[in-house]
Amino acid sequence: MGLCSGCTNGARAGENPSIRAEGGEMASSIAELISERMDTMPAGERRAAQTLVANYPLIGLKTVADFSQHAGVSSPTILRFVARLGFHNYPEFQAALQDELAAQLQSPLSRTVLEPAPDRGKTSPVLEATLTNIRETFRHVSERQMGEIVARLANPRAKIFLIGGRFTDPVAQYMTAHLTIVRPNVFHLTGQESTWRDRLIDMGKRDVLLIFDIRRYQDSLIRLAEKAHARGVEIVLVTDQWLSPIARFARYVIAGRTAVPSSWDSSAALFVFAEALIGELTRALEAESARRIREMEELR
């Protein structure tokens, strides 16, 4: 017996018009619907969308106040967000999420969840979790989002600043090592906090600040992001699925999966994303970067 396929309030069953994409094509799940429209949303609602896909779908089952607080926006923004998705009110949105969950939990596949793993070979669970994390991370990054970020980074007039937290700064450095080769004006913010802040004076509206930040989120990075944001710098944030508070100031937010059965969180997904960004940017800058690389060779 299907759990409430129309029993609670007679009308809602199948004719939900909200899940139908404007283009005419159906989005099979709300998550897809969101990622389709994420790019066309205003900043606040986009933050709501990002926190929803990052904590899908449970955040959407909580109250509007909880949702809004977790996303760092106000309640009306949440309601405008669900309205933009096509729902007439918040309960209808929640009902759709629950129906989706019900379908998943009822599927015969889910019954095997509690059974031991399919155990493909002798690979460790940590490794499998890491691979899944990477795959999941990329599932939630739309091509358009990727393209826009690359476009920002490809602008030769923009300066690019990179920085990371205690454990993620190596990822920032890894990315810096590559970016400095394919384009000029790439700077890694190193050393002490006071040193970064002095670099703020070099940052302007056209520039980009790329921040890697997973929990525990460092206050120093938040302060830097806030000040940079105040100067109009475009912030690209690569964080974990719980979203660093810097998301508040970020133009683009990438929510990577970091949870693994270990004492540590895994930054592998962030690392692979950084590599993907490097690759895309290199292709976008192909002409210029090739010439640049040739010049560097000669300088040896």
Q: Which residues bind DNA (CB under 7 A)?
A: 42-45, 63-65, 73-77, 79-80, 89-91, 232
Residue 212: strand pairing partners:
164, 238
89 binds its own copies (CB under 8 A): no
Using the minimum distance from each CB to its own copies, give the nearer residue, 47 or 233. 47
Using the minimum distance from each CB to its own copies, give the nearer residue, 88 or 215. 215
193 binds its own copies (CB under 8 A): no
Query: Which of residues 40, 89, 123, 195 is near its own copies by CB under 8 A?
Result: 123
45 binds its own copies (CB under 8 A): no
Using the minimum distance from each CB to its own copies, give the nearer residue, 155 or 173. 173
* Shortest distance, position 114 Cβ to its own copies, whole Å: 5
291 binds its own copies (CB under 8 A): no
157: buried, middle or exposed (CB in 10 Å: 19+, 13-18, 0-12)? exposed
Label residues 266-286 b or e (16+ Cβ within 10 Å = b): bbbbbbbbbebbbebbbebbe
Rounded Cα gap, residues 54 and 159, in angstroms:
29
Using the minimum distance from each CB to DNA, give the nearer residue, 179 or 237. 237
Q: Is the peptide bond before 183 cis (omega within 30 degrees of 0)?
A: no
Rounded Cα gap, residues 91 and 195, in angstroms:
49
Using the minimum distance from each CB to DNA, give the nearer residue, 169 or 234. 234
* Shortest distance, position 60 Cβ to DNA, whole Å: 10
Alpha helices in the chain (DSSP H): 30-37, 43-54, 64-71, 75-84, 90-106, 125-139, 143-154, 169-182, 193-199, 219-230, 268-284, 286-298
For the beta sheet containing 234-240, the strands, ordered from the edge strand earlier in sequence to the opposite edge, are 186-188, 160-164, 208-213, 234-240, 252-256
User: Residue 11 binds which entry of its own copies, DNA, none, with Cβ cut-offs from 5 to 8 Å by kind?
Assistant: none
* Shortest distance, position 211 Cβ to DNA, whole Å: 18
Stretch that binds its own copies, among 4-12, 17-25, 189-197, 222-230 (CB under 8 A): 4-12
92 binds its own copies (CB under 8 A): no
